[in-house]
Amino acid sequence: MAEPAAPTAHARSQGLQRRRRATQLGFFALFLLAPALNLLRFDLNETQLWVLGMRWSLGIDALAQGQVSANAAALTLILRGILPALLLVLLFLGVAWRWGRLYCGWLCPHFSLVEGLNALLHRACGKFSLWDERPSLRPGQQAQRHWWPVFALSCALFGFLWAITLLSYLLPPRQIWAGLLSGNLTPNQARFILIGSSVFTLELLFARHLFCRFGCAVGLFQSLAWMANPRALVVAFKRERASDCRQCSTARAPEGSACDSVCPMRLRPRQIKRQMFSCVQCGRCLDECAESKEQQPQLPQPQLEWTVGVEALRETLRQQQQQQQQQSQTQRKN
């Protein structure tokens, strides 16, 4: 009995993307529902933190009321405040140190919107960002202008939803939604929602991936931790076969260099690690590279692959050597 054929690189990559989509969808739902379920929110009315459905107290109120001693209050503050926060930060940065901006590419609700809105914009004008130099349309495909209102309306709706959700992390969600539906929001609540909706809508329209690259502190600290580890997960590139990339095309990128066209962060995956500072490890470039190999069997194995550990260190050293060679050549020409 013949053994089943091993899955191709593209099939494995597509499976990975499906799992990534599932984690994004699950975390997106968690982000929206967490305040309503009291999984995580800070109630400004009660000055009370809620965690996993429980009131999370640091013992300060009990100390002020004379119910506990200063030593007991200090111990509670350490065990219930400082220590959990420190462990979460260390865990978060530890993951980033090893695997990069994994949270951004696999969980972050904002990045999920970035990818979805990129797809809508591509239908409308053939670009994944308004700032792309030229469209990247499939053969025979044309931009469809009727998608422009869908794109703009989606940005406005998600901007509004973002403002409502963030406000519900600070005030009881039932109070916010009841006031919204009845038209009885307080002036401050109405201002927050109006200003927040406007800012988020503009950001989603014009600067969604730019915010991820340059404005997000969570992403910045992940990138800094990742850059500090030369053995961290990187996208390796077989540079001796760089010429193959000129004919590497897919349905989404018919002009060659397919991986450059699909990156949601608008990065070029074959750059050195320093220039991939904002890479979110989504794997879209690897998926596109594997698809091009499947559609063009005459090409060797896919160019791009994830490497970690010693292989990642070797890739980093190769990148540094190449950069030094390029700098030397530039200096000689000058």
* Domain-embedded: residue 13: no
Among 14-28, 134-148, 169-183, 292-306, the least confident range: 292-306
Q: Which of 71-85, 127-141, 189-203, 245-259 has the highest mean pLDDT?
A: 189-203
- 3-class SS of residue 298: coil
* Domain-embedded: residue 115: no
- Residue 296 confidence (pLDDT): 66
* Domain-embedded: residue 15: no
Task: Give the structural domain span for 278.
Answer: 221-333
| Cβ-Cβ contacts under 8 Å for 259 (sequence gap 6 or more) | 245, 248, 253, 268, 269, 270, 285, 286, 288, 289, 303, 304
* Domain-embedded: residue 2: no
- Does residue 274 carry a pLDDT above 90? no
* Domain-embedded: residue 311: yes
- Residue 1 confidence (pLDDT): 45
Q: Are 305 and 249 in contact (CB under 8 A)?
A: no
**CA-closest candidate to residue 134, choices 292, 276, 261:** 261
Q: Into how many domains does the chain fold?
A: 1
* Domain-embedded: residue 235: yes
What mean pLDDT comes out for the span 28-37?
95
- Does residue 244 carry a pLDDT above 60? yes
* Domain-embedded: residue 106: no
Rounded Cα distance, 88 and 50, in Å? 17
Strand-pair category, 54-56 with 234-237: unpaired
* Domain-embedded: residue 58: no
**CA-closest candidate to residue 284, choices 118, 85, 78:** 118
